[in-house]
Amino acid sequence: MLVECVPNFSEGRRPEVLEAIRQAAELPGVAILGLSWDPDHHRAVMTLAGEGEAVLESVWRATVEAVARIDLNHHRGTHPRIGAVDVIPFIPLGDTPMSYCIGLARSLGERIGRDLGIPVLLYEEAASRASRRNLAAVRRGQFEGLGERLSVEGGAPDYGPSAPHPTAGAVAVGARPALIAYNVYLNTADPAVADRVAQAVRGSSGGLRGVKALPMNTTSQGMVQVSMNLTDWQRTSIPAALEMARREAQRYGALVTGTEVVGFVPLGAILDAARYYLQAHDLSAAQVLELALMNEAVTTGVPYGGPPASEREED
Amino acid sequence: MLVECVPNFSEGRRPEVLEAIRQAAELPGVAILGLSWDPDHHRAVMTLAGEGEAVLESVWRATVEAVARIDLNHHRGTHPRIGAVDVIPFIPLGDTPMSYCIGLARSLGERIGRDLGIPVLLYEEAASRASRRNLAAVRRGQFEGLGERLSVEGGAPDYGPSAPHPTAGAVAVGARPALIAYNVYLNTADPAVADRVAQAVRGSSGGLRGVKALPMNTTSQGMVQVSMNLTDWQRTSIPAALEMARREAQRYGALVTGTEVVGFVPLGAILDAARYYLQAHDLSAAQVLELALMNEAVTTGVPYGGPPASEREED
């Protein structure tokens, strides 16, 4: 059961603290795919992946370390936050079901509440009530407003005490699909075009449900960018977002000069794109050689009749 | 150094022999991705993948088993062949260089020549001379004509004796890029359209260098098919072949209704397709989450500044 986990820490200025957190997270079977930080946001993002139980243990250890070293009373950054460890989303990889990630979120949340005495709020797919699905809503009032929010009727956390931890605040633990950061560049310097395209594709203004979009000026290149987040790529795919953006841009005479996937992308999303544009309706992940090789099931032998005639050594 | 190997055995009628060959090939670290056979061709194709040295050992053991059990003097099938083990191509996977596969071909060839007393002819990228690059040329005259071909001036094998093995003949061992079997369906029942499209795209008649193509009637569905082999996908990509076929078909008013990749396909070819159609010029394999996870290098830690800001848990 492969999962990704992207814990966010409220620390973006002390590299030695981040290094300690990274070391705490090191565990056999867990790949630390990245750790980035930003001093303005005063925030760091770690990307972990591996078997669910191992990833849970790894992020638990990182949480303990972060709680010991970060005091939110002295934390001022531009990014909203409720805790020293602010959010911990679990994300299914491959065939892992969302329900498994919800289970991991609950299990970790319970442990944090019980053993660290920190209130835990479950969010998105792991949320215990509709009002906590949206992370922005969970974080409203931030660290400074936590005491009041936790003490109101219905404000009790899912795990842990009903009062904020004095230095670590609270933690939002959740489960969600992988997020794809996808940018489309247009051959116009007119910011109004980017603005209109972003508005047309983003779900909140009537566009595609799984798309968040912002217009961006890309300074020097005489191009504008539509910066998108695809929050549910299995239902709203990269091609769906690109083709809608392309079509809208054409209304204003603008063409797509290029696109970029920022950071990691699930293989399934790349296969979706290949299936869509190649019209290869039946292309499956099982046909990808490197993946077949990863899949240990195949080493036990495959029944006769497996590979294609074309792999015969024809002339 | 990951490689694929696709040994072809001159046996397509005795499942127990194929099972013995399969068992001989079983080795830790080697994935047997497939074993298919065809009684008319009287031929079987095994697909192995793994670390080069392990794959070499696995195919060596399969070769020993096949040579012990197959007598070409009693072999009649529709597929041309020179040996009990007819051809053994090594194919680079991932970042493995072709030169590594050439080294494997030479190493295995030397061992077969020396320890089994079978003449070995190196072909394609591993060929020792231009006249042996083409497998069809290497196999000319087949098993029955081997004695004469090996004894003429310049006919000596690269390894082993200059006379055919009495039951196992000779073996062609080579290195080549992965082959992609790719079919394009057109919404016409007119075989002449498939014929013209195939002729336009195939390299031998002036089309794309890395493409072999045949027209096919797909019986019941009222569609024709252009059946292609892409022999060098890193230089002639799937999109290049599809878009040329699409354009040619349009000359006759025919549209592509779908395409299919038959059997295995390297991840790189899928990424190529995604890069091409998404115009995602800089999309790299390192961004594919499942692949990053496979790559053990990343478990040693990544410098700060890795993953994107968008992986922050934004609202």
pLDDT tens digits, residue range A146-205? Answer: 999 999 988 999 999 999 999 999 999 999 999 999 999 999 999 999 999 999 999 999
Residue with token string 């790949």: A31
- pLDDT tens-digit series, residues B160-217: 999 999 999 999 999 999 999 999 999 999 999 999 999 999 999 999 999 999 898 7
| CA-CA-CA-CA dihedral for A17, A19, A20, A24, to nearest 10 | 140
Q: Give pLDDT, residue A291.
A: 82
Give start and end residues of each alpha helix (H) in A117-237.
Answer: 135-138, 146-151, 191-201
The angle at the Cα of A50, spanning A45 to A51, to the nearest 5 degrees, equals 130
- pLDDT tens-digit series, residues A56-113: 999 999 999 999 999 999 898 888 899 999 999 999 988 899 999 999 999 999 999 9
Residue A67 CA, chain-centre distance (Å), reads 22
**A298 pLDDT above the threshold of 70:** no
| Strands A171-175 and A85-92, bridge-based pairing | parallel
**A218 pLDDT above the threshold of 80:** no
Residue B209 structure tokens: 């260098």
Count CB atoms within 10 A of the CB of residue A75: 19
Partner-chain contact A287 B263, CB within 8 Å: yes
Partner-chain contact B35 A302, CB within 8 Å: yes
- Quick one: which of A24, A136, A304 has its CA closest to B32? A304
Picking from A34, A293, A306, the nearest residue to B49 by CB comes out as: A293
Residue B227 structure tokens: 């059946």
Residue of A223 and A270 predicted with greater confidence:
A270
**B307 pLDDT above the threshold of 50:** no
Beta bridge partners of A120: A159, A171
**A235 pLDDT above the threshold of 90:** yes
What is the average pLDDT across B51-76? 96
Q: Does B279 touch chain A (CB under 8 A)?
A: yes
What is the average pLDDT across A35-40? 87
What residues contact B22, with CB distance under 8 A and at least 6 apart?
A301, B32, B35, B46, B62
String of b and e for A47-72 (b: at least 16 CB within 10 Å)? bbbbebebbbbbbbbbbbbbbbbbeb
* Band of residue B312 on the pLDDT scale cut at 50, 70, 90: very low
User: Which of B289, B294, B302 to mutate to test binding with chain A, by most A CBs within 10 Å of its CB?
Assistant: B289
**A308 pLDDT above the threshold of 80:** no
Shortest distance between the Cα of B290 and any Cα of chain A, in A, equals: 6
- pLDDT tens-digit series, residues B109-118: 999 999 999 9
Interface of B with A in 183-222 (CB under 8 A): none
Q: Which residues of A does the annotation mark as catalytic?
A: 79
Picking from A135, A181, A258, the nearest residue to B315 by CB comes out as: A135
* Band of residue B305 on the pLDDT scale cut at 50, 70, 90: very low
Residue A244 structure tokens: 């809608």
Q: Give pLDDT, residue B9.
A: 96
- pLDDT tens-digit series, residues B20-51: 999 999 999 899 998 988 888 899 999 999 99
Whether B79 is catalytic: yes
- Give B4's contacts in chain A (Cβ within 8 Å): 289
Partner-chain contact B291 A290, CB within 8 Å: yes
Picking from B86, B302, B311, the nearest residue to A6 by CB comes out as: B311
Terminal-residue alpha carbon distance, chain B = 43
Residue of A313 and A61 predicted with greater confidence:
A61
* DSSP three-state, residue B187: coil
Number of H helices, E strands in chain B: 9, 11
Find the closest chain B residue to A5 by CA distance: B311
**B309 pLDDT above the threshold of 70:** no
Q: Does A255 touch chain B (CB under 8 A)?
A: no
Q: Give pLDDT, residue B300.
A: 33
* Band of residue A290 on the pLDDT scale cut at 50, 70, 90: confident
Question: Cα separation of A106 and A126, whole Å?
Answer: 7
Q: Give pLDDT, residue B6.
A: 94
Partner-chain contact B311 A277, CB within 8 Å: no
What are phi and psi for residue A59, nearest 5 degrees?
-75, -30
- pLDDT tens-digit series, residues A236-281: 999 999 999 999 999 999 999 999 998 889 999 999 999 999 999 9
- Quick one: which of B46, B2, B87, B74 has its CA closest to A307? B46
What is the average pLDDT across A117-134? 95
**B314 pLDDT above the threshold of 50:** no
* DSSP three-state, residue A263: coil
Residue of A53 and B216 predicted with greater confidence:
A53
Q: Give pLDDT, residue A97.
A: 95
**A213 pLDDT above the threshold of 60:** yes
Q: Does A16 touch chain B (CB under 8 A)?
A: no
Counting one residue from chain A and one from chain B, the pairs whose CB atoms sit within 8 A come to: 282
Lowest model confidence (mean pLDDT) among A211-215, B52-56, B212-216, B295-299: B295-299
Give start and end residues of each alpha helix (H) in chain B.
Answer: 15-25, 52-69, 98-116, 135-138, 142-151, 191-201, 238-251, 267-278, 289-294
Q: Give pLDDT, residue A115.
A: 98
Residue of A108 and A305 predicted with greater confidence:
A108
Question: Cα separation of A253 and B176, whole Å?
Answer: 46
DSSP code per residue over B22-38 = HHHH--TTEEEEEEEEE
Q: Give pLDDT, residue A120.
A: 98
Residue with token string 């390299």: B203
Residue of A77 and A143 predicted with greater confidence:
A143
Strands (DSSP E) found in chain A = 2-5, 8-9, 30-38, 43-51, 85-92, 120-124, 171-175, 180-186, 211-218, 223-230, 256-262
Find the closest chain A residue to B5 by CA distance: A311
* Band of residue A313 on the pLDDT scale cut at 50, 70, 90: very low
What is the average pLDDT across A282-308? 62
Q: Give pLDDT, residue B165.
A: 97
